């Protein structure tokens, strides 16, 4: 019912910035919460941030102060602005959607019903 397409990934140097976008299509009524996860090489998926329908946000500790999540409900687009990027930020970044409010479990990938294909972010030293 929901299709997600990430874009904006690429290669940047340490300390650089990048803005990821996620275009959503389908039933907008079930997009209660949207978020971003990432998967670094050899590691499991890691929650970055989430934002519910009224703008309430949640962030992983590593993302606080550096990453900003936002959503445009008119354009049906989710964004992730990243700054002061570090080599450890290198990963495939995924856009996710939950039909319900994940609350304190926003960081759990099992909470989300839809996933995008991912966009690669590479941060070089």
DSSP letter for each residue of 27-41 = -GGG-SEEEEEEE-T
User: What count of other Cβ atoms lies within 10 Å of the Cβ of residue 26?
Assistant: 14
Whole-angstrom distance, CA of residue 70 vs CA of residue 35:
9
Q: Bigger pLDDT: 31 or 75?
A: 75
Q: Is 30's pLDDT higher than 80?
A: no
At residue 42, the 3 state secondary structure works out as coil
**pLDDT at residue 87, rounded to an integer:** 97
Q: Bigger pLDDT: 76 or 38?
A: 38
**pLDDT at residue 29, rounded to an integer:** 64
Instruction: Give percent above pLDDT 90 in the chain.
Output: 82
The dihedrals phi and psi of 41, each to the nearest 5 degrees, come to -55, 125
Q: Is 20's pLDDT higher than 90?
A: yes
Residue keyed to tokens 């090489």 = 41
Whether the CB-CB separation of 92 and 119 falls below 8 Å is answered with yes
**pLDDT at residue 73, rounded to an integer:** 85
Whole-angstrom distance, CA of residue 91 vs CA of residue 122:
7
What stretches of the chain adopt beta strand conformation (E)? 2-7, 10-13, 18-26, 33-39, 46-52, 57-59, 67-72, 77-82, 91-98, 114-115, 119-124
Q: Is 26's pLDDT higher than 70?
A: yes
**pLDDT at residue 108, rounded to an integer:** 96
Q: 77-119 pLDDT, tens per residue?
A: 999 999 999 999 999 999 999 988 888 999 999 999 999 999 9
Q: Is 10's pLDDT higher than 90?
A: yes
């Amino acid at each position: 019912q929901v299709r997600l397409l990430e874009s904006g990934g690429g290669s940047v140097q340490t300390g650089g910035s990048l803005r990821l976008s996620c275009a959503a299509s389908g039933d907008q009524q079930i997009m209660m919460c949207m978020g971003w996860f990432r998967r670094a090489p050899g590691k499991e998926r890691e929650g970055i941030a989430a934002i519910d329908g009224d703008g309430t946000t949640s962030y992983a500790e590593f993302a606080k102060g550096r990453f900003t999540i936002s959503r445009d409900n008119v354009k049906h687009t989710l964004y992730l602005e990243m700054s002061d990027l570090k080599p450890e930020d290198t990963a495939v970044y995924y856009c996710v959607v939950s039909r319900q409010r994940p609350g304190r479990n926003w960081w759990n990938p099992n909470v989300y019903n839809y996933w995008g294909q991912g966009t690669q972010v590479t941060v070089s030293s």
